[in-house]
Amino acid sequence: MNRAKIAIGDIETAPLVGNHWGLYDQTIGLNQIVSEWTILSFSWKELGAPSSETIYMDTSAKANVRDDRDLCLALGKLLDEYDFLIAQNGKRFDLRKIRARLIMHGLPPHSPIRVIDTMLMARQVAAFTSNKLEWLSDKLTDVPKSKHKDFPGFELWTECLAGNKKAWAAMRKYNIRDIVATEQVYLRLRPWVDDHPNINVYHDDSDVHRCPKCGSPNQENRGYAYTNVGQYHRYRCGDCGGWSRSRYTLNPTVKRKSLLK
């Protein structure tokens, strides 16, 4: 039986380095850039897989820690294997950054992949105090985002770029923790999302009612859903709790013809 292949991913990037004369309201010209940003590390795992199966890769063993070509090759291959990528701010940041580096290295396009962005999910379904992973993971999960206390703030990136092995160990923990937190945030928000991609499409058992959000066949008929022009069977998933409805109206032809707009 086919099913959607869904991954959770997260990247960490090295910053641009440039020359400038102030701290505020600076416009940095292209000729002031000393070093381009690069990808320092990534973590990746399949949705529902144990943490022990997490893939992690960084540039700590490189002579130049900004040499991310091998890392980008690995990311490109992973993207080829999956239908969906779950990531916090993944649409605006992670996937676009990965693509930028693949293009700069002259690598071929990865296969089409759809991003499920947990930050946008949170923004869509509720009015939380913050849609940042730090807040969402602290309030909605039991795995709050790591604060890398030994290397607070930007110091973690500074020390990794300097080759500090202890900092790289902290980066690994921080990066992996992020995808565990992202996964739990996603699972908490998933049943609330109205326009979640229809996972049922990826199953080849055409005669089974499956939850469009999680793919579970454990569906309970819970009355009817109504639109301005139709009546439909309504279902609630016994696993994720999400609601769905049938695609075809229950209205007989004579009823459909009598409806006014």
In a domain, 62, yes or no: yes
Q: How far apart (Å, rounded) are the C-alpha atoms in residues 238 and 71? A: 40
43 shares its domain with 164:
yes
| Confidence category of residue 11, pLDDT binned at 50, 70, 90 | very high
pLDDT tens-place string over residues 12-58? 999 999 999 999 999 999 999 999 999 999 999 999 999 899 999 99
112 shares its domain with 186:
yes
| CA-wise closest residue to 99 among 125, 79, 124 | 79
59 shares its domain with 143:
yes
48 shares its domain with 11:
yes
99 shares its domain with 135:
yes
Residue 120 pLDDT exceeds 80: yes
79-93 burial string, b = 16+ CB within 10 Å, else e?
beebbbbbbbbbeeb
In a domain, 18, yes or no: yes
Where in the sequence is the domain holding 219, given as residue range(s)?
210-258
145 shares its domain with 219:
no
Residue where a domain stops, chosen among 192, 223, 247: 192
Q: How far apart (Å, rounded) are the C-alpha atoms in residues 175 and 52? A: 14
107 shares its domain with 139:
yes
Tokens of 16: 């641009």
Q: What is the mean pLDDT of the chain?
A: 94
Share of the chain above pLDDT 90, in %: 84
Q: Are 88 and 116 in contact (CB under 8 A)?
A: no
Residue 257 pLDDT exceeds 90: no
218 shares its domain with 159:
no
Number of domains in the chain: 2
168 shares its domain with 127:
yes
Beta bridge partners of 11: 42
DSSP for residue 90: I
The CA-atom distances, in angstroms, between 218 and each of 36, 186, 190, 243 are 50, 20, 16, 12
Q: Quote the pLDDT of residue 1.
A: 54
| Confidence category of residue 3, pLDDT binned at 50, 70, 90 | confident
182 shares its domain with 215:
no
In a domain, 198, yes or no: no
φ/ψ (deg, to 5) at 129: -60, -40
In a domain, 219, yes or no: yes
In a domain, 199, yes or no: no
In a domain, 203, yes or no: no
Provide the CATH number for the domain around residue 127: 3.30.420.10
Q: Quote the pLDDT of residue 4.
A: 93
pTM: 0.93
Average pLDDT for 121-131:
98
229 shares its domain with 136:
no
Weakest-pLDDT range from 95-99, 176-180, 248-252 = 248-252
Strands (E), the chain: 6-14, 17-18, 33-35, 38-46, 55-58, 84-87, 114-117, 219-226, 231-237, 243-245
Q: Quote the pLDDT of residue 253.
A: 85
| Confidence category of residue 211, pLDDT binned at 50, 70, 90 | very high
150 shares its domain with 231:
no
Average pLDDT for 194-216:
91
pLDDT tens-place string over residues 145-154? 888 888 999 9
